[in-house]
Chain A
Amino acid sequence: MARSPDQTDTLLQIGFAALLIAGIVAPLVAYPTFLMKLLCFALFACAFNLLLGFTGLLSFGHAAFFGGAGYVCGFVVKEWGWTPELGVLAGTAVAALLGFAFGSLAIRRSGIYFAMITLALAQMVYFLALQLPFTGGEDGLQGVPRGYLFGLIDLSDNMAMYYFVFLLFVAGFALILRTIHSPFGQVLKAIRENEPRALSLGYDVDRYKLLAFVISAGLTGMAGATKTLVFQLASLTDVHWHTSGEVVLMTLLGGLGTALGPVVGAGIVVTLQNELADKVGSWVSVIMGVIFVICVLAFRRGIVGEMQALGKRLGISE
């Protein structure tokens, strides 16, 4: 019953090493554009999971950070001629600031009220994206140049772009892992587990939640800004509440509160969308809905969560 941290650590390290290698060789066997999309959503889901899985906050407005950062990045790169890394940085920073604003307004509420406030705020961002003069309205911001990384490396080459995206993903993922396993992460888990108790131990719970929210929003922005560079497009789809819902699905499907779950969940959802889009058209949404229901009813811990539970049980019976 007692878990052995060393064993879990080694297993995790092996898992991460395998993933790292897979990420490096992947573009040799699969379409880089598809992989880049996958990585963007995987980072998005991981950032979301930091909030839902490790802090216990259900935000229904993360599309605002994902899509909003996309617009910011697209704008500074296209209109002001910023280099791609600065574009991503700008998107990340604005998303973090936006996260600070959203968080400050929403965090005093809990549960469904928190979700509703984030949703309402995100809808305002959607409206702005539709109406503002420089966002391209229904068409979005098109023809964003990928440009030259640090002014040197031509990112219109798909392989170069892929490794840039992969690097960003690894950096974001590493930051999330560190956050989970930091003194701060311990407090987050305590808050998720029992908020009144955390309060009674003297922790200003709201400030911890706010910082978690800002980190999550910032990294979500990083994912969204990167996606804009990949597809050379900042679109309304990414700020739409659909996207906020999709990331919930990815996280739950893969395994809430597990490090790798959101990556797996994003992988499955993006793959399905890619495979099914031209075969079944808008039925994709229905299929996603069915998957969601099955996931919630039959395996609530998500794929990675169920696998971990299984592993534990096997470990015990030994």
Chain B
Amino acid sequence: MADDTILETRGLAKSFRGFVAVSDVSLKVRRGAIHALIGPNGAGKTTVFNLLTGFLQPSAGAILFNGSDITGDKPAQTARRGMVRSFQISATFPHLTVLENVRVALQRKRGDSFRFWRSERVLDSLNERAMQLLAAVDLAQFAATVTVEMPYGRKRALELATTLALDPELMLLDEPTQGMGHEDVGRVVELIRRVAANRTILMVEHNMSVVADLCHTITVLQRGAVLAEGSYAEVSRDPAVLEAYVGTAND
């Protein structure tokens, strides 16, 4: 049973100087699932991600990853355990080339990243893998482009490729399709489905058709607490959820 759960939180809470952003979040993410975290703006979804990945320390509660307590881990530690996140605001390395963006992620596992006396040419052996990852998000032809010169949608795709480069066991995606055109959304959905084959994904997503299409389990957050949980069919019929979304119809 325990082996079936890759990530678990117990009574997770976070307040910022008295303002409670996350009040009581207990959730279990099943290994191999695509799990969605949804909720109105300001519900605390990104804060939960920040807590999970050590960017924020919880005021209360515990986080278990693969059965071991990782509450209090530093961000880099959580990444090395196999839980890698993307960011809501696209996070790339703007003045590195597209290829270098992916390569810097691949580079970590080589274990020679402190060697300041070696030539960066040793990294060329990673180029092939980096190009495969770029091809997977249709960015191969932009490999030599300086990232800052690309449109937003492509940067998001690049961020996805960079995250994938670490081959994470659990991938946390904060609104991966936000700011993308219709076609790009379709492409990213297909990509997520493909890479989900041998990993677990927890994603925040506002686009309900994406959620309906991709996700096995959905957790609805409202004002920092879990409002409902279940399949899309269950959750979308839940009166409390309907009310929460009607209540913020401008969303």
Contacts and interface: CB of A to CB of B under 8 A. Distances in A.
A182 B120 contact: yes
A183 B91 contact: no
Contacts of A178: 116-117, 119
A210 to B, nearest CB: 10
Contact of B118 (A182, A194, A205): A182
A160 to B, nearest CB: 29
Given A182-B120, A199-B76, A202-B166, A187 B149 contact: no
B182 interface: no
Contact of B97 (A3, A179, A207): A3
A197 B75 contact: no
A292 interface: no
A201 B105 contact: yes
A184 B111 CA distance: 10
Contact of B79 (A2, A4, A184, A199): A199
A190 interface: yes
Contacts of A194: 91-94
A193 B158 CA distance: 15
Interface string B164-194: 0010000000000000000000000000000
The secondary structure that dominates the A interface is helix
Contact of B120 (A183, A202, A203, A207): A183
Interface string A186-223: 11011001101111111111011001000100000000
Contacts, number: 113
Interface in B70-113: 74-76, 79-80, 84-87, 91-97, 100, 103-105, 107-108, 110, 112-113
Tier of interface size on chain B:
35 or more
Contacts of B249: none
A181 interface: yes
A1 interface: yes
B237 interface: no
A196 B97 contact: no
A174 to B, nearest CB: 11
B87 A183 contact: no
A186 B85 contact: no
Contact of B107 (A1, A186, A200, A208): A186
A3 B108 contact: no
B87 A208 contact: no
A254 B162 CA distance: 34
Contact of B149 (A1, A175, A199, A203): A1
B79 A183 contact: no
Contacts of A182: 115-120
Nearest to A211: B114
A287 B86 CA distance: 48
Contacts of B140: none
B144 interface: yes
B93 A181 contact: no
A1 B117 CA distance: 30
A253 B145 CA distance: 28
B145 A183 contact: no
B1 interface: no
B113 A200 contact: no
Given A187-B107, A189-B96, 8 more contacts: A2-B144, A182-B119, A196-B55, A197-B93, A199-B75, A199-B76, A200-B85, A201-B104
Interface of A: 1-4, 175, 178-179, 181-187, 189-190, 193-194, 196-205, 207-208, 211, 215
21 contacts: A1-B149, A4-B144, A178-B117, A181-B120, A183-B113, A183-B123, A184-B114, A186-B104, A189-B95, A190-B104, A193-B96, A196-B55, A197-B87, A197-B93, A199-B75, A199-B79, A201-B79, A201-B84, A201-B166, A203-B113, A208-B113
